[in-house]
Every structure is written in C-alpha cells, then in structure tokens.
Amino acid sequence: MKRIGMLTSGGDCQALNTAMRGVAKTLFNAKEQVEIYGFLNGYQGLIYGKFRLLTGADFAGILTKGGTFLGSSRTPFKTIREPGEDGIDKVAAMKQTYYKLQLDCLVILGGNGTHKTANLLREEGLNIVTLPKTIDNDLWGTDMTFGFQSAVNVATDCIDCIHTTAASHGRVFIVEVMGHKAGWLTLNAGMAGGADIILIPEIPYDIDKVAKKIKQRHETGSRFTILAVAEGAISKEDAALSKKEYKKKLANRKYPSVSYELAAQLQEKCGYDVRVTVPGHTQRGGSPCPYDRVFASRLGSEAAELILKGEYGFMVGYKNREIVKVPLEDVAGKLKMVDPNASIVKEAKLLGISFGD
C-alpha cells in the first residue's frame, strides 16, 4: 500500500485539476494499492491537518474544470520558518502531519514560492514530487508550465476584442497583462493579439520612444495603437533606482498600476485618447485549453510513475519537447526570465513591434 498526499499551493490556474487527475488515474490504474489524501487550501491544510481521503469519484469529470477542487492559498516562503499568530511551528507541523498519515510521498503543484517550500521539505527528509504550475511560465528547469497556454488564450482574446473598439474610435488602448517579474505571458499574448507595443519587466522602457511609436502609427494612417503591458513593466528611470527607492515610489504612486500611469503620460505627450483594460484574474480562470489538458495530463502521469518507482525529490518538467525529471534543488529559488536578446524578442522587433527600448 502506498499512501500519497497531494496539495495545490499559490495562485490558482487552469489545469490544476487536470494534472491531479493525471496523477490519480495513473496511480489507481497501477497494480499496487494506493491511498490518496488531499490537503485543503495548500500548505495550510498540511500545517493544520485539514485533509480528506480521495477516491476515484473525486477525479471524475474534472479534466475540463479550471481552478482546484482542493482549494489553494499563499503561504509565503520568507515567513515559513517564523511561527504564525497562533505560535505554530509551520515546518514542524507539516512534518508531523506527513508522518502521522504515514505518507510515502507528497505531490505538490505550484509555482516559484511553492517550490521553495517543497525543496525545504525535501531537505527536511520528506519524499516530494512536484508539478510546474504557473500562468507566468517562469519556473526554472522547464520550458513550459501548465496554465500558461490557457492564460495566453484568455489575454489574447482580450486583445482581439480591443482591436475592434480601438479601430472604431481611433483610440490608444493599453491592455494590462499579468506578470510582475517575468514577461512571458505579455510577450506571447501581445504577439498573438497583434499588439503594436509590448512592455515587459525584463526590458525597461523609454516613455518617449513609446510615444514616438504611437505618433508614427498615426502619421502613417493607423487610427489606433494597442499596447500589451505587463503589470510589472518598468521605465528606464525606475529601473535605475535602488530596490528601496523603487519600493518607496510604488508606495506613493497615485495610479493603481503602471498602465494607468502610462496612460496619463501618453495622453499628455501624444494628445490622443488613451484607455486602459485590465483582464485581471480572468487570465487564471475558465476551462484549460486543449494544449494544457494534454500537457498537464502527461505531467501528472509521469509524476505518478516516479512515485511508483520510488524516485523522489524531483519536479516533473518539460525540456526539448520531452517530459523530464529535474532535481528540486535545481529549481527552487530561481526564475526563468525573458532574455532581452532572445530570438522571440528579435523576431517580434522584426515584425515592427516596439518594446520601448
């Protein structure tokens, strides 16, 4: 009998249910007897012993459902060693729950912060297997994360819809796409949606160059301009500030986000009507796209294979179109950023897309 724990941590996304289904169906189809315990609301469930024994019925009909039926929450890694308000030692509590249930392995689905804690638990002696979940596609050690392609589809649909109203009214539209630190989502959705300007955190922008691009389009007969802007986009002036100085500026910013600040600046510099659209958490919601359904199912199946073989301490990733196992210590604490010199950026520029640099 193998006893497996499972939890989803951090921000939700499409295909979490799909990935868990992939793990469970593969385990249940194996010759070995298996019990799967689902922890509720991420690491909080592991800390406070909130779980339930899952059966095949729990994984039926969830292939196409977004979100996570186990629930999720954010448990910041930077405070994981600090006692909570209730005085509980979070790491000790997680280990206690693991050993109390006599688990053979804990399957953890999550992004960067989640993987830091997962690796910590591995260092504490627990058997861990992880799956790469994030709409940001910024996890180290994998070319792709599940949830990303579905989020690209949602953001692209938003940009597609903006095209017709922008063209009708001759406006400049800013579509703010999720992504605080990495610009993969904005870059891909911007290219897919035909954005004229793409601003991402990895390439600080010059507001004058952004304004120049807009003016050039209008001068050549284009009545509208669409900007795909990552929520973490940053100007060259702000990028030159120290981390402390930049945090202070953000704390005193009179605009709700960088997009609204950009809109005010561009309206003043260009004189055109500028509007902002923020699709927000719709990018995390809805059904997973077909790509993510297949991809997450494959990852889940391979994770189950590792468990059945007794191979622990790995994230199941994707490299060069093949599913691979990546040591957790190689993943934790690292971000996969967009390289400003990457071929996809070069090709976008050849298409006439401006990055404001």
What lies within 8 Å, CB to CB, of 125 at 6+ separation is 95
Active site residue 238: no
* Residue 340: Cβ within 10 Å count: 14
Please, are residues 180 and 232 in contact by the beta-carbon 8 Å criterion? yes
Please give the torsion angle defined by the CA atoms of residues 270, 275, 281 and 286, in that order, rounded to the nearest 10 degrees.
-120
Compute CA 1 distance to the chain's CA centroid, rounded to the nearest angstrom.
Answer: 34
Contacts of 32 (CB under 8 A, 6+ apart): 1, 2, 308
Distance CA 309, CA 19 (A): 19
Strands 274-277, 172-177: pairing kind: parallel
By residue count, the chain amounts to: 357
Joined tokens for residue 275: 């509007």
- Dihedrals φ, ψ of 218, to 5°? -65, -35
Cα angle at 197 between 337 and 275, to 5 degrees? 115
Q: Which of 12, 86, 104, 136 is catalytic?
A: 136
Residue 266 DSSP code: H
The closest alpha carbon to 276, from 288, 289, 258, belongs to 258
Cβ contacts of 265 within 8 Å, gap of 6 or more = 207, 211
Token pair of 326 as six digits:
């990546």
Active-site amino acid positions: 136
